Amino acid sequence: MLNFTIRRLIQIPLVMLVLSVIVIGLTQLLSPEQRAAPYIRSEQQAARLEQIITERGLRDPFPVQYGRWFSNTIRGDLGFSKASGKDVIPTIQERLPNTIELTLVTALPILLLSIWLGTLSALHKDKLLDQILRVLVVFGYSLPTFVLGIVLLAVFYAYLGWLPGAGQLEIINQFAVGDLRRYTGMMSIDAALNGRWDIAWDALRHMILPAVTLMIVLSANLVKVMRNSMLEVLTSDYVRTARAKGLSSRVVNGKHARRNALLPIVTLGGFLVIGLLGGSIITETIFAYPGIGQWFVQSALQLDIAGVLGFTLLSALLVVVMSTAVDILYGVIDPRVRFH
Amino acid sequence: MKKLVTLSSLLVISAALAASPADTLVIQSAADVPTMDPGVTYDTSSSALVDNMYETLLTYDGASLTKLVPQLATKWTVSNGGKTYTFDLRKGVKFHSGATMTCADAEYTIERNLVTNSGASGNWFIAESLTGSQSNAADDKSITWAKIDKSVECNNAGQLVFTLPAVDPAFLAKLAYTGQAIVEKAYSAKIGEWDGTEATWKDWIGKDLTGSNLSKQPNGTGPYRLVRADANNHLFQAFDGYWGEKPSIKNVIRQKVPELAARQQALLRGDADIIEGGGRSVDEAQIKGKPGVTWVDGLPNTTSTAIFMNEKIQGKGNSLLGSGKLDGKGIPANFFSDVNVRRGFSYAFDYDGYIKDVQKGQGMQRTMLMPDSFPGYDPKVKKYTFDPAKATEYFKRAWGGQVWKNGFTLTANYRANSVGAQTAMEILKKNIESLNPKFRVNIQSKQWSEMLADSKKGEEAMILIGWAPDYADADNFMYTFYASDGYYSPRANWKDASVDKWLKQARSTVNVAERNRLYSLIGNRAYEQAPFILVPAPVNYTFQSSRLSGAPITKAGFNPMTSLNWKDLSKK
């Protein structure tokens, strides 16, 4: 287990190195003029196109450009992200906790809901409840996130006025936040630790609509997988044996069947968390939620190479770390899995 | 999607449920804020914030585009035949840091702009006035420390003195530009910006200030100071030490909300006071007339747009030329060098149709490629009209009759995702092709970055591009479009010796009447020669929460050259 973990950790810098070469290499497919375009917002600036290209070394050979980026990165300088108006590292420090906070609020409900509904669906196979759940799964699976987000915003914010609109906090609290001592970077937790329960509640209220959007869209696939996995387990020999021994349905389904049916959910759940930590691009954009997903989409749209690279490296780190965690968790759930 | 947005708008209950506090202005925009350093501010979303934190020596008087009034200066005199400007500076002005503004700060500001003068900044035009070159010292070896240092100095009386190498009638207007807002020397040096000395100036030549320390920690003399900037919010508070009248709005928050539907709902619910809209057709359909929203229309527009007809299309084997001959399958590289071709095209554009369909009736056909609100604009200069008969007449004359006989195939590009540009090109294509079955105009979209590069090299046959003002002076437009060494010259390759002469004369005299006369001459000459098709200019509009009031958001007080001054607003 320890060797396996160490091997995985060693992979991180290698993965990042390869990724950085690929991303910077891909940018070289664009002409210097195209790479200079993001720095030009008007025809006035376009008049200085050549100067901008020269100043940024966009005509330098690829090894020179990569070397420049690499030497800066080694010194802890990932560059300036045009999309955020800040350096990459402070941008990640500012936005990643927001994304983690949204993940915390979203991931566990998604997993619990999916396990519960998937189990329910399997246990009532082909009955009305199963049919309803399957229709809902198809609905959730096929519904575009941006449509769902805008509908929820229109209904619960614009029409009913029950929940706040886009953003992270009410205006009045935006000004109060400056006085908070930050511990985690996560608004609701930091506000609670400062005794500002009003701000904590406000931050949580602002997360309801994005979280519900993500829950509806992301639960669908997991419910389907859980249902199929559960159906497979329910027809296995050991479940039949457990039933023959006279164990109650609750014990058979809950203790024996569901635990084994969870294995694919653990894998998918890991990817779900990786995806959420990587920033929910559409949801964060619709709800103006200041996570890294929103930053990435802005960086990509603006060809903000420093931003795209910073995000890519962060994502790579998250993937390696989370997939390692998932593999370890696998071993915990299923003792048959061994690491060599 | 559009239906959903409309539905969401219809679902909105009365906006009387005003949610944002009366002492707080809430602005929502999709755009990011690239910088808060005035030294590199050259875009509208940055200017919108910088203009409220920083101040320039002088500014526009209300809605006037011609009258400049003191701001951080109290008065100025012009001497030495228009080549020396001496400014008295306002006393007792405080920076947000608490320091008092001195002449050294003003001198440092201008010198910093001349030294850095990066490609991304708008410092090229102040450099042109003060050093005689648009470039910085890295690109132009004639720019020395001595030249920069001598161009702006503080005299013993504490006055700021500018010494120009040549007369520049637009110099004062250039000083009113955001980029010349005054920064504090000591504070800037302390946080790691240039220290203002000759010993270090070379390290700062061409330095891009976009992500500078000053951008991260702005410090101006303006009515609002930055309290905090996080991922999506910029928070400002009225500056207690402000020298001028205290603003009635105490707090301002500028939020980045990328989704239009979310911004619209925030405005209609009263959570936002000002939002970035979605263009006239969207805003008229979904915002105009809604309760709680004030719509102000008929505002001046200061952009100019033209369809360029390149008289010397560059690029070996340029695919836009087709066969490269007048054989019906292409065009020669000098196709547009015949004035009859250009006139034919000019008469084939449906100006009124464009105003009606694209601009929803809110457009104006100008006589010259400059804003009609600028001094120098002559409404009496003749305009082309949509006249297929005249277009036919000129095409029959073109190239000794070969154009009409053989026809042509022309490929024109427009900027991708620009509905206005696409529609204009489609109108032109339809009308040209209806004149003669042998006429063919292919139009295709092209990424802006590619267009930038290709048009600069003169490789575009026909493109539609516009210009927005840096400063309120006719020269900023006229020279750009019409001069054979102007910025847009490679896109048209039109050269007229008289026009070049008149343009140079106009930029070297401060006599307003004489300049106006020269610009009229240029306008008339351009009408005769038809180097461009003048695309009608849209009429501007604005909308905001009805809780807001103030001169800048009225038709009488709106100034297209300045950002919205929050200090002139009040909210109930």
pLDDT band at B281 (very low <50, low <70, confident <90, very high): confident
Bin A274: left if φ > 0, else alpha if -120 < ψ < 50, else beta.
alpha
CA angle B309, A45, B530 (to 5 degrees): 20
User: What does the alpha-carbon distance between residue B482 and residue B214 come to, in Å, rounded to a whole number?
Assistant: 38
CATH architecture of the domain covering B1-30+223-301+540-572 = 3-Layer(aba) Sandwich (3.40)
Query: Which residues neighbour B432 within 8 Å (Cβ) at sequence distance 6 or greater?
Result: B345, B348, B391, B439, B441
Q: Does A29 contact B at CB distance below 8 Å? A: no
What is the CATH number assigned to the segment(s) B304-538? Answer: 3.10.105.10
> Does the pLDDT value for residue A144 go beyond 90?
no
The neighbouring-strand residues paired with B32 are none
- Nearest-by-Cβ selection for B211 from A50, A80, A288: A80
Of A36 and B95, more confident:
B95
Average pLDDT over residues A171-192: 88
Q: Please give the pLDDT value at position B6.
A: 40
- Nearest-by-Cβ selection for B11 from A43, A159, A167: A159
With CB atoms and an 8 Å threshold, state whether A155 touches B11: yes
Q: Please give the pLDDT value at position B380.
A: 97
Substitution target from B230, B491, B545 for chain A, most A beta carbons within 10 A: B230
Q: Does A55 contact B at CB distance below 8 Å? A: yes
Of B451 and A333, more confident:
B451
> Does the pLDDT value for residue B8 go beyond 60?
no
Q: Where in chain B is the domain with CATH 3.40.190.10?
A: 1-30+223-301+540-572
Contacts of A280 in chain B (CB under 8 A): none
Span B168-209, pLDDT tens digits: 999 999 999 999 999 999 999 999 999 999 999 999 999 989
DSSP character string of B226-262: EEEE-SSEEEEEE-TT-SSPPPS--EEEEEE---HHH
Contacts of B35 in chain A (CB under 8 A): 85
CA nearest neighbour of A100 among A184, A178, A165, A163: A184
Asked which of A26-40, B19-33, B49-63 is least confident by mean pLDDT, the reply is A26-40
- Exposure pattern of B191-200 as b/e (b: 16+ CB <10 Å)? eebbbbeeee
Both tokens of B275, joined, read 């939002």
Substitution target from A27, A29, A35, A44 for chain B, most B beta carbons within 10 A: A44
Does domain B34-220 sit in CATH 3.40.50.720?
Answer: no
Q: Please give the pLDDT value at position B284.
A: 93
CA nearest neighbour of B307 among B466, B183, B455: B466
Q: Please give the pLDDT value at position B2.
A: 44
Q: Which residue of chain A comes nearest to B32, CA vs CA?
A: A83
Span A191-237, pLDDT tens digits: 999 999 999 999 999 999 999 998 888 888 888 888 888 888 877 77
- Nearest-by-Cβ selection for B262 from A39, A286, A294: A286
Both tokens of A61, joined, read 């050979």
CB A118 within 8 A of CB A223: yes
* Angstroms from A175 CA to nearest CA on chain B: 7
> Does the pLDDT value for residue B243 go beyond 90?
yes
Q: Which helix (H) or strand (E) holds B571?
A: strand B570-571
- Exposure pattern of A116-129 as b/e (b: 16+ CB <10 Å)? ebbbbbbbeeeeee
> Does the pLDDT value for residue B31 go beyond 70?
yes
Average pLDDT over residues A107-135: 88
With CB atoms and an 8 Å threshold, state whether A158 touches B265: yes
Q: Please give the pLDDT value at position B183.
A: 98
User: What does the alpha-carbon distance between residue B246 and residue B238 come to, in Å, rounded to a whole number?
Assistant: 8
Of A331 and B438, more confident:
B438
CA nearest neighbour of A239 among A251, A257, A254, A226: A257
* Angstroms from B1 CA to nearest CA on chain A: 7
With CB atoms and an 8 Å threshold, state whether A51 touches B11: no
User: What does the alpha-carbon distance between residue B269 and residue A210 come to, in Å, rounded to a whole number?
Assistant: 19
CA nearest neighbour of B498 among B517, B478, B522, B519: B522
Give the number of other Cβ atoms within 10 Å of residue A14's Cβ.
10
Average pLDDT over residues B157-169: 96
CB B560 within 8 A of CB B299: yes
Query: Which residues neighbour B555 within 8 Å (Cβ) at sequence distance 6 or greater?
Result: B296, B297, B298, B299
Contacts of A87 in chain B (CB under 8 A): 211
CA nearest neighbour of A220 among A119, A117, A124: A117
> Does the pLDDT value for residue A337 go beyond 70?
no
- Exposure pattern of B514-550 as b/e (b: 16+ CB <10 Å)? ebbebbbbbbbbbbeebbbbbbbbbbbbbbbbbbbeb
pTM, full prediction = 0.83
Average pLDDT over residues B248-263: 93
Query: Which residues neighbour B413 within 8 Å (Cβ) at sequence distance 6 or greater?
Result: B320, B443, B444, B445, B446, B451, B460, B461, B462, B463
> Does the pLDDT value for residue B18 go beyond 50?
no
How far out from the chain centre does Cα A297 lie?
A: 13
With CB atoms and an 8 Å threshold, state whether A150 touches B470: no
pLDDT band at B391 (very low <50, low <70, confident <90, very high): very high
Q: Where in chain B is the domain with CATH 3.90.76.10?
A: 34-220
Q: Please provide residue A160's backbone torsions phi and psi, each rounded to the nearest 5 degrees.
A: -85, -30
Asked which of A151-165, B49-63, B68-82, B104-118 is least confident by mean pLDDT, the reply is A151-165
With CB atoms and an 8 Å threshold, state whether B120 touches A45: yes
Q: Please give the pLDDT value at position A205.
A: 93
Q: Please give the pLDDT value at position B19.
A: 67
By CB neighbour count within 10 A (0-12 exposed, 13-18 middle, 19+ buried), where does A214 fall? buried
Span B289-328, pLDDT tens digits: 999 999 999 999 999 999 999 999 998 778 889 999 999 9
With CB atoms and an 8 Å threshold, state whether B259 touches A166: yes
Q: Please give the pLDDT value at position A36.
A: 83
With CB atoms and an 8 Å threshold, state whether B449 touches A288: no
Classify residue B442 by its DSSP letter.
Answer: E
With CB atoms and an 8 Å threshold, state whether A86 touches B42: no
